[in-house]
Amino acid sequence: MIDPLPELSTEQSDPRYSQIDRLPTERVARLMNQADAAVPAAVAVAIPSISAAIDAISDRMTEGGRLMYVGAGTSGRLAVLDASECPPTFGTDPSLVQGVIAGGLDALTRSVEGAEDDAEAGAAALRDLEVGPLDSVVGVSASGRAPFVLGALAEAASRGALTVGLSCNDDAPLSAAAEHAIEVVVGPEVVTGSTRLKAGTAQKLVLNMISTISMVKLGRTYGNKMIEMSAMNNKLAGRALRIVSDITGADSETAGKALDAADGQAKIAVLMIRHGLDPAGARALLESHGERLSEALSG
């Protein structure tokens, strides 16, 4: 049976946009911009629930757990995007933060819309990842009722994992299925039902918060500096050089030599310069302080 989803705010039609096909381009652009401007305010309302979820996630990650995002369609693509940015930004192993999308990798570049209706496939994806009690699973669904995501969350819960539901509607089934419910209610879209718009923007903002703040709490930044980033290209190598110079006050030549000796690891280079250590000594000091640079510098 087809569910018309009549009660969902994300499926409603907003009369302000009923004639966008007849308006000048600039007028439509301004309408979209005005609509988008309401998204951060909707996210702000949900910050208490976002913060509680992040605290619970980071507590488990501190104990060695992983962070898993699960979504379908736009939500799944955003989930995979956020997970894929963690290794270059925070130097994480790719297995630490993972994104699961209904329909698999093919769904990243083309629509596999029917895949979101398969609850058992969602559960199977979590079984394949051997999700356990230390892991956290964030289900992402604009409607809050995608069967693939609900199936995945149910499987995660049965395995003792922490569960979080991120949706864009009030009283979503996903919220009822999760230990931590995050509802960012953005209302009707400019193009009715096209939740890649405001709902997608809201989800991206929340995912940014979840991954970034979790990594900050795990000590993967020094202040607001990406001290764990992987210097995999010229831009990032230059950024690493500036970070080491900023923290230590060393000139570029000194910072560059330390980075070379530290195999590009900024934290090691910082400790070498500040404490006059060789790479092995700097690594030992960092390990003795749980990989947290701030503690290693003051210890």
Element of type H or E holding 76: helix 73-90
272 Cβ contact partners less than 8 Å away, ≥ 6 residues apart: 258, 261, 262, 278, 279, 281, 282
Q: What is the DSSP string of 249-298?
A: ---HHHHHHHHHHTTT-HHHHHHHHHHT--HHHHHHHHHHTTT-HHHHHH
116 catalytically annotated? yes
Spot the catalytic one: 11, 85, 179, 295: 85
DSSP 8: -
Token pair in block for residue 241: 């050089």
Spot the catalytic one: 7, 11, 113, 116: 116
∠ CA 8-206-234, nearest 5°, is 140
DSSP 228: T
Quote the CA–CA distance of 248 and 242 in Å, as a whole number: 10
287 catalytically annotated? no
Question: Cβ of 159: how many Cβ atoms within 10 Å?
Answer: 16
- Catalytic residue list: 85, 116
